Structure 1
Amino acid sequence: MFKRLKKLLSGTRSYQAAQGGRRGSAMRTMHHPLQSIAASRGTLAARARYLAANNPLAASGVEAWVSALVGTGVKGQAKAGAPLRGILNDAFENWTDEADADGLTDFYGQQALIARRVVIDGEAVAIFVQDGDRISIRVVEAEQLDASYTASLINGNVVVQGVEHDAEGKRVAFHIFDKPASMDFASMRKRTRYPASEVMHVFRREVPGQVRGISWFAPVIVRLNDLDGWRDAQMVRQRMAAMLAGFIVSTDGSAEPGEGDQSGSTVVGGWEPGTLQYLEPGQDIRFSDPAKIGAEVIDFADITEREIAVGLGLPDYLLSGDLSDVNYSSIRAGMVEFRRRVEALQHGLLAFQFLRPVWRRWATLEVLSGRVEATVADALPVSWITPKVHWVDPAKDVRAEIEAVAAGLMSRREAVAARGIDIEQLDAEIAADNARAASLGLTFSTTPPAANDNQPAAQAAA
């Protein structure tokens, strides 16, 4: 009776993946993602940091994401009217050199640092440092945001892993240690409460209600670790197979002692390629005969690397640098999809959580200090120009862009911004070049010839 009832209930599940039995019991589940993130994020970040420092594929994946997200830097371009727009853009570009409170890089270098920490640690934390009417930014370790601090405060606020929320769930403050978590500072660290307006917490939100970020390496850490072990084993096997040695058996009982360190009856080490080793009479030596590395082993390694690339959200050739199986169509299709993913992260993560707060704070201080004569409302609108994306086929892409501008399908400003260039600066340079050429009596062809696939036939007809 019980078996019939169990069979009847299990049959009501329409989704095979939700069924029980032997197959279903082998499937792992995650019922509470927020709790899983809270419990695992620290361990995942620590393991990701180790892999990024020691594993070539992991290091390549980090650099690929940093290059795609930031490159030479995402530049701000004010949306104000003509005179004010140029003033703001020039002032912001001058400020980028003093943006780093530690004085080690500029604003674009800080962007790269934040992107790197988001990929590896899952999150990045930056604090505004204000000195009078001047502002700078200090990027701190994500672990300085005290993940061990979770409490209910007497004012009704709740602190979750160092992030304080009000009764409505809005972030109002961050509890951050003033020094990194190293042995030198363990007894001297002081936790400080920073208002949310002073902190930029950058991470990819994957679950509603998520408080802290999780490493982008989470889906591939096990694969990378297993691949590391497999490669080490293969390397040791190849090294042993390359140890060509000869063995001499003496018939009169005289033999030279074996090289290496004696450990009981075993000689440890001492062999090198080309060694001739004496053996005692009656002694013999044998080696294991491991299987040779065949094509199927290499294919398995390639498949594993592709799985890692997919888990990191990267085209596999960006991870491994292997372009042997890439053609024009495949690399173009892969890059188009990858660029969509990059653009979504640039605007939804990097710009919203870091770049826009920086511009708001900087522009407000520029106006209030009197360095820029404008209202705060006029100075705040801004767009962000991402680095130029290099084309697979520049001739075709440029021609398509020119036709789109001519047909009114895109603006010239949009086309110039896609190249990572400020249109105000570009137009000023073009005007200056034209004026200089005219003053010297120089004439250049600035209009490219129209493309005509039937040009020879047209000439013959003429």
Structure 2
Amino acid sequence: MSGFLSTLFNRAKAAKPWWSRSYEGASSGRRALGWSAMRNQHSAAQAARAPLSYRARSLVANNAYAAAAVEAWAAALIGTGIVPTVKAVIAARWLAWTDEADADGVGDFYALTALMVRGMVIDGESFALLINAPAGLRLRVLHPEQVDAALTRPLPNGGRIVNGIEFDAFGTRVAYHIFKDRPELGLGLPLTPVRVPAEDVVHLFRTDFPGQVRGVSWFAPALVRLAELDEWHGAQIMRQKVGALVTGFVTSVDGAVPFDGEQDGSALIGSLEPGAMVVLPPGKDVRFSDPPAIAEEANSFAKITLHEIAAALGLPYEILTGDLSAVNYSSIRAGLVEWRRRIEMVQHNVIVFQALRPIWRRWVTLELLASRIEGEFAAVLAVRWICPRQQWVDPSKDVKAEIDAIGAGLMSRREAVASRGMDIEALDTEIAADQARAKTLGLAFTAGGAAPTALPAPAASDELETEGAAA
């Protein structure tokens, strides 16, 4: 009986008390030694924002995968441009303005938005000024360093300035404190930030947690892996170089070497020519070096690391590396579907809301005041933004699926056209114009894209109707 009681006692002693933690991730035992923790996300983001940005810029400038990641995100999010769906007259004026939008005259409006998206991916954020020029709205993209991140202090009215962004007592952004020139272009002169109202500044960044003030680089989860991959790749290349430095060894008993060459101290650097026949005297031996080859486990390690980097950057592995050797139609489509959900989320929740909507509001206001467009402010302000259509792996299957869905009443033709990045009114007008032109020229086209054929000659009654209409 005493043995039974002893066993129960030992089991009760070994068991965890009822008040111990039930989540192992929150435990503080031996297994949790060395784990990092982020108690205050706001202060952590403020402290890490600048170092992450500097390191991400360096990697994008020097690392092929980092550069490919930035271009992949910019191409997917902006592409040829996110355009508004408006009436034809306003659309024509908007199209003309896009070529004049850049205050510096370097690119058009869509080039500016692509530049801002690249900055958001690398630095975590990007800024642009809305300038009311006599000829209309102008935009100037700012470098993130121009917003004074060192300026943080409370204000007498109950507000505060955090990292160069001013908030009122209710926590609403009211102003940005901006250097007129970038700090590195100041020639060492002290720069004083200028207070710019928040309504004149576009601040584009992905919000990662509530109350976030400034953006954090999208490369934050991938920086360590990218840097380590660079170091590993450099070590592999050096290993191959060192292994190829020495090509052969000649062993001689009496010190004589049966080759010609240059004397370098006690060593003779010789060479062999193609097609040469060399007879070695007794006691002499020639051995060639065996340079190390890149083992299969090294290739597997590199691939696993690239998978981790792609996951950290939110990109499919195939998009990051261009390696399509292990994919088929089903796997690549499944990967692209998930990625395109992320693309749509960022396009509508970040780019449209933070950048395109305030730009459109300012543009509409200035255009109406200058009488360059006509209409009610509320009606013109209401606009739907159409993102560039993402191309699929097999377009023919997707088109057939859309046709079937429209025929079954599961989607409208307007929705299908909008998903292609087009406006249905503009498309219908263009189709009608094409058909009228084809009819005037006596052309007929088939749906399969066959060569045009001449239409049958009009009947006499048709000719009379045409002449009467012309009269």
| Other-structure match for 1:178 | 180
In structure 1, distance between residues paired with 2:256 and 2:245: 28
**What does 1:315-326 correspond to in 2, within 5 Å?**
315-326=316-327
Task: Give the match's secondary structure for 1:49.
Answer: helix
- Measured against aligned partners, the alpha-carbon deviations of 1:386-411 in whole angstroms (never above 9, x if no partner) come to 11211111111001111112222222
2:262/2:270 contact within 8 Å kept:
no
User: What do you get for the CA RMSD once the two structures are aligned?
Assistant: 3.0
Task: Give the match's secondary structure for 2:50.
Answer: helix
1:243/1:272 contact within 8 Å kept:
no
| Other-structure match for 1:20 | 28
Shift of 1:244: 4.5
Letter in 1 for 2:380: A
User: More displaced, 413-422 or 232-241?
Assistant: 413-422
Letter in 2 for 1:332: R
In structure 2, distance between residues paired with 1:19 and 1:103: 58
| Other-structure match for 1:432 | 433
In structure 2, distance between residues paired with 1:133 and 1:379: 20
Asked whether 1:258 is paired with 2:259, we answer no
In structure 1, distance between residues paired with 2:271 and 2:110: 51
User: More displaced, 40-49 or 287-296?
Assistant: 287-296
**What does 1:93-242 correspond to in 2, within 5 Å?**
93-132=95-134, 134-182=136-184, 184-187=186-189, 189-242=191-244
Letter in 2 for 1:159: I
2:159/2:170 contact within 8 Å kept:
no
In structure 2, distance between residues paired with 1:324 and 1:8: 50
In structure 1, distance between residues paired with 2:170 and 2:270: 70
- Greater Rg over alpha carbons, structure: 2
Distance 1:402 1:182, change over 3 A: same
2:243/2:292 contact within 8 Å kept:
no
Letter in 1 for 2:407: A
In structure 1, distance between residues paired with 2:272 and 2:184: 48
In structure 2, distance between residues paired with 1:185 and 1:417: 50
Asked whether 1:58 is paired with 2:66, we answer yes
Distance 1:272 1:315, change over 3 A: farther
In structure 2, distance between residues paired with 1:47 and 1:40: 11
From 62, 79, 88, give the equivalent of 1:71: 79
Letter in 2 for 1:191: P
Task: Give the match's secondary structure for 2:213.
Answer: coil
Shift of 1:239: 1.7
1:202/1:350 contact within 8 Å kept:
yes
In structure 2, distance between residues paired with 1:381 and 1:166: 29
Task: Give the match's secondary structure for 2:196.
Answer: strand
1:176/1:193 contact within 8 Å kept:
yes
Letter in 2 for 1:397: D
In structure 2, distance between residues paired with 1:141 and 1:257: 60
- Measured against aligned partners, the alpha-carbon deviations of 1:287-309 in whole angstroms (never above 9, x if no partner) come to 99886421111111101000000
Shift of 1:156: 2.7
Distance 1:104 1:19, change over 3 A: same
Letter in 1 for 2:367: E
- Measured against aligned partners, the alpha-carbon deviations of 1:288-347 in whole angstroms (never above 9, x if no partner) come to 988642111111110100000000000000001000011100001011111111000000
- Using the size of structure 1 for normalisation, the TM-score is 0.85
Task: Give the match's secondary structure for 2:170.
Answer: coil
Q: Percent same amino acid among aligned pairs? A: 49
| Other-structure match for 1:262 | none
- Measured against aligned partners, the alpha-carbon deviations of 1:114-157 in whole angstroms (never above 9, x if no partner) come to 11000000000011111136111000101111100001122332
2:90/2:373 contact within 8 Å kept:
yes
| Other-structure match for 2:294 | 293
1:364/1:379 contact within 8 Å kept:
no
1:179/1:185 contact within 8 Å kept:
no
Shift of 1:272: 12
1:45/1:120 contact within 8 Å kept:
yes
| Other-structure match for 2:328 | 327
Task: Give the match's secondary structure for 1:333.
Answer: helix
Distance 1:336 1:273, change over 3 A: farther
Asked whether 1:357 is paired with 2:365, we answer no
Letter in 2 for 1:346: Q
**What does 1:74-89 correspond to in 2, within 5 Å?**
74-78=82-86, 85-89=87-91
| Other-structure match for 1:393 | 394
Letter in 2 for 1:57: Y
In structure 2, distance between residues paired with 1:240 and 1:58: 28
Shift of 1:5: 11
In structure 2, distance between residues paired with 1:176 and 1:390: 40
**What does 1:237-248 correspond to in 2, within 5 Å?**
237-246=239-248
Distance 1:181 1:290, change over 3 A: farther
Distance 1:76 1:310, change over 3 A: same
1:244/1:274 contact within 8 Å kept:
no
The aligned length equals 421
In structure 1, distance between residues paired with 2:68 and 2:270: 34
| Other-structure match for 1:341 | 342
| Other-structure match for 1:417 | 418
- Using the size of structure 2 for normalisation, the TM-score is 0.83
User: More displaced, 402-411 or 9-18?
Assistant: 9-18
| Other-structure match for 2:405 | 404
Letter in 2 for 1:105: G
1:364/1:376 contact within 8 Å kept:
yes
- What 5-or-longer segments of structure 2 have no aligned partner? 1-11, 274-286, 451-471
1:150/1:161 contact within 8 Å kept:
yes
Task: Give the match's secondary structure for 1:432.
Answer: helix
- Measured against aligned partners, the alpha-carbon deviations of 1:153-212 in whole angstroms (never above 9, x if no partner) come to 223320000000000000000001111121554315331111000001110001111101
User: More displaced, 218-227 or 370-379?
Assistant: 370-379
Letter in 2 for 1:143: E
| Other-structure match for 2:55 | 47
In structure 1, distance between residues paired with 2:289 and 2:138: 63
User: More displaced, 423-432 or 397-406?
Assistant: 423-432
